[in-house]
Every structure is written in structure tokens, then in C-alpha cells.
Amino acid sequence: MTALNEMTADALKALHARLEQDYASLKARGLKLDMTRGKPAPEQLDLSNGVMTMPGNRDYFTASGEDARNYGGLQGLPELRALFSQVLDAPPAQIVVGNNSSLAIMHDCLAYAMLFGVPGGTGAWSKEKDIAFLCPVPGYDRHFGLAEGFGFRLIPVPLTGAGPDMDVVEKLVADPAVKGTWCVPKYSNPSGETYSAETVARLAGMKTGAADFRIMWDNAYALHHLSDARPPLANMLEAATEAGHGERVLVFASTSKVTLAGAGLAMLAASPANIAWYLGHAGRRTIGPDKLNQLRHLRFLRDAAGIAKLMEGHRALIQPKFDAVAKIFRDKLGARDVARWSEPEGGYFMTLEVPEGTASRVVALAKAAGVALTPAGATHPYGRDPQDHILRIAPTYPSLADVSAAAEAVALCTLLAACEKRLAA
């Protein structure tokens, strides 16, 4: 195979004609595949089927003898906070375990900030004229949508492979209107990168114009290894605390991709002042979380070793899917030199970088052939990728056969769109 940009016009035309034929055959197959969302596959959920009959008959007492069926326990079961303390690297007293959605805890933190303000701030954010939030790109569409929903001005910041470009970040946060940043620091959604120790140190120590700046540290994939590389992630909360900015960091995590996507547990870890602030507002909102589901998780996960074993089970199921997609991209796209993709060491996503201006075309071509992809632009603020070149690939949910068929289709559509672009040039 020849690189596209080294082909003669005639060769390009011939290739295009062949790809058109291949695409017609692809359409004729009548595929119906969905690679839009980072959902665990049914076999992954099966790993946690043990919870389906838990906590079990008459097993409703917490370690301290409280009846988990009744009201109360706003901060979450102490014994569960002790377990998650090992995952979150924060003391149990600085952890809140809630219900099933970490996005909901992020939402509530921002809603409380808007309505009431945060520790270190001067009042409700909603009283301020302009609030901006940094959005490392490519990033998670639900993060950006949440901030957009609150009316924040979204500022894209490029990711470097070791986290956001800190030179850019440090300049931007000098503006007091910039109140915070999103971060998915480990196996980032969707680039797969892990923030370097230097990035963490600079985020912890940087001077911000806003005294009440918040780092929304969504450590969603802390445990989600796809290789033995396991790049380390420095402890953001500790680093910020040591730098005198302990209030800056809000750490989020969940078991949505550990146990059950819709019925897991979400967590918040933060400084004592932030935890007191959160609980103060959450205590008006609810009497407490579903402690039976917390007990269920405690019985099922048991300890850190139980969690690690479960995560190995996930890896065994999804690593082959990531490998298959990467192999197909290498085989079909490699020598053509039209695209780059991530081969992540963990997480739930790959990025596929296609020629500028062709990402939407690839999505449209795939859709017409029965393969649903996350919309082009979803990885950027306001759903707009100015270069129209980043695709998010979510290999976990479909079966290995389906994900391979989908990857073949995506590779074909990528190549076809690239050909079209060159021919039109």
C-alpha cells in the first residue's frame, strides 16, 4: 500500500473507485452496530452478577450496627469509605460515597457553587457576569455539556499526551473569570493519556486569578488498565494541599465501570473544608444515599484485592477488542498515512485522528452503512471541533466480532473520505 499523498492522480482515482465498490458492499451487508458510547458489554456486567442477590437475607447491618435499610448516613458507610480510601488515595473522612452517578455529584458541586459559592470564594458564582471553564480537548461530552448548561464559557485547551498544555493553562487561569477546569487524569476520555507528574505539580501549584478555582478531577478510569504498563498518576489532592491549594481539587470516581454501569456507586474526595461544604448542601437535599447498595458493593468487592481481581476480569474481556481495532487500523490505514489513532494503556476509548475536515464525513458514511459513531465534534466544547478531525472510538460494548466489523467499516470510511478530500483538492 502507498501513502495517499504519494499517489498519482490516476492511482488515487483508481483507489477511490475501488473504495466506492467496497463501500457499496459494506452497505449491502446491512450492519447495525453501535460504537457511540463507552458502555460496558453484557459479559462485563456479568462479572458483577453476584450483587443481584445481595446483600442477602437479613444482611442489613453496617459494621457499626446501623440498620442500612433505614434513613441516614449522608456521607456513606464508613467501612466502604475505608475501602475506597485505598482507591482514591484519600482519608475515609475526606470521602463521600453517594448513589449511582458521579456525573450527578459533579453537577451538584457546580450547582452548589452557582447557588451558594464555594470555600475560598466570595459568594454564589451565579452572581458573576462571566464564568469560564477550561476544557482539555479531546474530552468528555457530558463534562462539557454540564458546564455549558450552567452557562459557563467553555475554553478548549489542547492535550499533549501528558495532560493539558500547561503553558496554555497557566496563562488562561490568570483570568479571574476562569473558575475551573475539567480533567480526566488517567486513561483520559477519549485520548487515553495519563497526566504526568509535572502536569499534576503545575496544576497543583499554579497561580489562579480566581481564589475559588476548582479542578474537576474525574478519575473515572483509575483502575481500568488495558496493559501491564500502568502509568502512575500523582496524587492531585495531596499535591494541591502541599502547595497550599487543598480547596482547589474535587476528585470524582465511581464503580460504574467496575461493577454495574447503572447501579454502581459514585464518590467524591476532597479537602475537609470542601467535604463539609458538600455535605452541608447535600444534607438539605437528601437524608442519605442508598446504603443497601453500598452494603451490596461492600459484600461483593470485599477488599482492594477483590476490586483488582474484578478489574483483571474486565481487562480480559475488553483488551482483545482494543487490540482488534488497533490491528485493523494498522492493517487498513497504516501504510496509507491518512490517520493516527491512540493505542491506550487503559480506559474505555480510542481516538482516531482523520484528515482535517473529514471527521463528520466519516461519521456520515459509517452511519449510512449502519455503524453508529459518536458525532464528530462531541469531544470538543459546544460539540464543535474546528478542525473536524477527531473521532472517539468506543470498542467496549459490541462483541469482538461486531467491534471488528465496525472497525473495518470505520477504516474504510476514513480512507474513502480522505480520498474524496484529496480528489476535491
Which lies closer to a copy of itself via its Cβ, residue 48 or residue 85? 48
Nearer residue to a copy of itself within complex by CB, 112 or 195: 112
Closest CB 49 distance from a copy of itself, rounded Å:
7
Which is nearer to a copy of itself, 109 or 417 (by Cβ)?
A: 109
Nine cell digits for residue 128: 458573576
| Rounded least distance, CB 89 to a copy of itself, Å | 26
Least distance to a copy of itself from the beta carbon of 134, Å?
19
Q: Where do contacts with a copy of itself occur on this chain (CB under 8 A)? A: 37, 39-40, 42, 45, 48-49, 52-60, 67-73, 99-101, 103-104, 107-108, 111, 114-115, 124, 126, 142, 145-146, 149-150, 256, 260-263, 281, 284-293
CB of 282 to a copy of itself, least distance (A): 9
Residue 125 to residue 131: CA distance in whole angstroms: 8
Q: Which is nearer to a copy of itself, 60 or 370 (CB)?
A: 60
As measured in angstroms, the least distance from the Cβ of 45 to a copy of itself is 4
Give the nearest distance from C-beta 276 to a copy of itself in angstroms: 15
Contact between 198 and 351 under an 8 Å Cβ cutoff? The reply is no
Beta carbon nearer to a copy of itself, 67 or 356: 67
Q: Measured from the CB of residue 360, what is the shortest distance to a copy of itself in angstroms?
A: 24
Residue 84 or 341: the one with the smaller Cβ distance to a copy of itself is: 84
When the beta carbons of 108 and 175 are compared against a copy of itself, the nearer one is 108
Contact 270, 280 (CB under 8 A): no
